[in-house]
Amino acid sequence: MPALKVLNRLTKTARQGFTLAEMVIVIAVLAILVTISTPAIFEFMRQRDKQAEENVLMELRKALQAYIADKNALPGTATWATDLSGYTNLSLNEIRNDTWGVPRAFIAYQDNTRTIQGTRVPVFYVTLHSAGPNRQAQAATGIAVNGTAFAGATDAAWWANIASQQVTTFSALAAAGDDQLIRFTDYPEKLERYNLTIQRMDRITTALESYAKNGYANKVTACGNLAKDPTTGLTGDATCDNGMPERIVYYPRSQAIAAATDNAMYLNSTLYVDNAQSEANRRIAMQGLMRLLGLPDDFCCSAITLAADGQPAPMFYFSNPRPRNPGGGCAARPGLTDMKLPARLTTTNDDTASTPTCG
């Protein structure tokens, strides 16, 4: 019976609802809980957005690397977002604007003063800068801002040392406050491309030596098979007598930029490469030379630099190069009676006294 009375009272209370005092207590408890949890919620959202921006910047770094590896050129200052859109799954809006809807600052610079083992190599530097949760750019190490906005992409003060074309402090660039920034340089990739170019040149050199040795051996055999004059002991072929085979050029013939009428000293006077041609035509000619030597077409060109048409820059090939003078500069081109030098490959044709290619 007592248990039944208690049940009746509880049922009656449930039908009547909470008292005003009880409601006040519940609301107060809920307010306290909201007050306590709100900062944690905002912090969670802030960290979530920050992580999202970091993830996008990492994706853009990969896209930059892929684009430069493919094009061997920088994205355009005005078209960088569109240029990178083909190298990432991010939408154009996600590329152009940061997580908080503010356009990212894309600053690119090409340093033409860098050298790798004495060879001048253009190196690319890029920064991508986000204004962060407060949507205002803040001053930072080596980074120029105009008030709370990003400096113009052509601002020479964007990197503190860009005016003197020195980028040694590039690694010190850093964002301030809640801004986020990534740095990218293709110097490691350029070093790989440099080594690839050296490997190509080594392969071409070996193929040229093999070609010349075969040509010389065939010529000596042909000379031995010619009938000799019983009185003089000569074959009547000037290129076979008196050791002359050693003074013939057995490399596939090229035409130097400084023209030389030296057809007569070649075993085969067919012209394969004319170094005075345009880059596009010289590339085609060098590709033909690669096929003659049994090498891939892309060995025709440098893996480091691009020509004016955006394609790999073709190498210069000199089948009868001039010797270098001990004191600098270039001597005369070997004539018909002079000993010949090995063929020469260069990525540039610089005939200055200090660094002569002597092609």
**Dihedral pair phi/psi, residue 242, rounded to 5°:** 60, 35
Q: What is the pLDDT of residues 271-312, one digit of tens each?
A: 999 998 999 999 999 999 999 999 999 999 999 888 888 889
Render pLDDT for 66-109 as a digit per residue (tens, 0 to 9). Answer: 999 888 889 998 899 999 999 999 999 999 999 999 898 888 88
Return d(Cα 318, Cα 257) in angstroms, integer: 9
Residue range 21-32: mean pLDDT, rounded = 73
Q: Provide the pLDDT for residue 315.
A: 94
pLDDT of residue 45: 63
**What integer pLDDT is reported at residue 325 of this predicted model?**
87
Whether 120 has a pLDDT exceeding 50, the answer reads: yes
Q: Cβ of 306: how many Cβ atoms within 10 Å?
A: 16
Please compute the mean of the pLDDT values over residues 250-276 and round it to a whole number. Answer: 82
Phi, psi of 228 (to 5 degrees): -105, 145
Tokens 């000619």 identify what position?
285
**Per DSSP, what are the bridge partners of residue 159?**
143
Confidence of residue 6 (pLDDT cuts 50, 70, 90): very low
Amino acid identity, position 331: A
Residue 129: predicted pLDDT: 87
Higher pLDDT, 27 or 151: 27
What's 254's DSSP letter?
A: E
Longest alpha-carbon distance in the chain: 152
Q: For the chain, where are the alpha helices, taking DSSP H only?
A: 2-16, 20-71, 80-85, 92-96, 187-224, 279-293
At 242, the pLDDT band (50, 70, 90 cuts) reads confident
Task: Give the domain ranges of the chain.
Answer: 52-185, 191-346
* Portion of the chain with pLDDT greater than 90, in percent: 35
* Averaged pLDDT score across all residues of the chain: 82
Q: Which residue has the higher pLDDT, 334 or 16?
A: 334
Residue with tokens 């050298």: 115
* DSSP character at residue 266: B
